[in-house]
Amino acid sequence: MSLQIVVGAGPVGTATARRLAERGEQVRVITRSGSGPEGVERIAADATDAALLARYAEGASTIYSCAGPPYHRWPTDWPPLGAALVKAAEASGAVLVTTGNLYGYGAVDRPMTEDMPLRPNSIKGQVRAKLWTDALEAHRAGRIRTAEVRGSDYLGAGALTTFSVMVLPKVVAGKRASVPADLDAPHTWTYVGDVARTLIAVGDDERAWGRAWHVPSAEPVSVRALAARAADLAGAPPARIAAMPVTALRLAGLFNPAARALVETQYQWRRPFVLDSTAATVAFGIKPAPVDDALRESVEELRR
């Protein structure tokens, strides 16, 4: 049994902490509020305090970064947290495994692979790219050991995405939904449980460190098709969904910071957004959950 640190208790942090605890590890979850799943040690602390984080990580084998600042606060909240995580990993000697995403690649015209250059075309993408390059530089300098695990938009318990917020509740309730997206563009969805499985697999294998990995994810499904499946699984009327124009999103952004934050990432929803996860599937033998299983979990949680 070894000490495992999980920073953040959102859907990924909770799933990761539970899986680690189930296999008999000593798990310490750190959040500002002291929240976290049952059966683990829960600490209320500010993870941007590098010295404090390092003290809690003393003796740990791995630090899993699963925190998620509010979407519109990425530019201000992520840099100090990322810097503290690197410093804590350096001070404690723990491996730092970070939950990442696909923003750093920017707009691309083919399925995304881990060897693609980071060419962000958004402020949030620039933030994510710098977090990884800073950690990777520290790794290459021999100061820390690190890796990043990247997934697409989440499905499953606790997932908060454009689909889960703007589409799923309306579809399950039999109401008409509107979403700022090309409804028929292929889109990759990543199951929260598979993110946790991949984080732990990467943390366990020193051959996986020093690079990024894509979470094994099922074949892409369009927003329209996903909404239709959600209606079927929920026993709701056929999904009624419309594409929201960008102008409407911009108007909503005048009053809602979360809507405003979506404008610069419209490229992810107005064109194919496809993840290639072959490398991790082969390396770790992780078979992604079927989209229906992940979606069913989202529907069940929504109903609860």
Q: Determine the pLDDT at residue 250.
A: 75
Q: pLDDT value at position 87?
A: 97
- Residue 73, in any domain of the structure: yes
Q: What is the pLDDT of residue 72?
A: 86
Domain membership of residue 241 (yes or no) is no
**Whole-angstrom distance, CA of residue 101 vs CA of residue 246:** 23
In a domain, 243, yes or no: no
Inside any domain, residue 107:
yes
Instruction: Determine, yes or no, domain membership for 277.
Output: no
Which two tokens mark 181?
Answer: 């997206």
- DSSP helix, strand, coil percent of the chain (3-state; round to 5): 45, 15, 35
Q: In the prediction, which pLDDT does 181 show?
A: 94
Global pTM?
0.95
List phi, psi (to 5°) of 280: -70, -35
Position 100 in a domain: yes
Backbone torsions φ then ψ of 50, nearest 5 degrees = -60, -40
267 part of a folded domain: no
What total of structural domains would you count in the chain?
1
One digit per residue, the tens of pLDDT, for the chain of length 304 reads: 799 999 999 999 999 999 999 999 999 999 999 999 999 999 999 999 999 999 999 999 999 999 989 888 999 999 999 999 999 999 999 999 999 999 999 999 999 999 999 999 999 999 999 999 999 999 999 999 999 999 999 999 999 899 999 999 999 999 999 999 999 999 999 999 999 999 999 999 999 999 999 999 999 999 999 999 999 999 999 999 999 887 776 776 666 777 677 788 899 999 999 999 999 999 999 999 999 999 999 999 998 8
What's the CATH number where 130 sits? Answer: 3.40.50.720
Nearest alpha carbon to residue 146 among 55, 67, 62 = 62
pLDDT given for residue 253 in this prediction: 60
Asked whether the beta carbons of 64 and 99 are under 8 A apart, the reply is yes
End-to-end alpha carbon distance in the chain: 34
Amino acid 261: pLDDT: 74
- Host domain of residue 197: 3-152+190-216
* pLDDT at position 122: 94
What span, in angstroms and rounded, lies between the C-alpha atoms of 58 and 94? 8
Q: Is residue 37 part of a domain?
A: yes
H or E segment at 153? strand 153-155
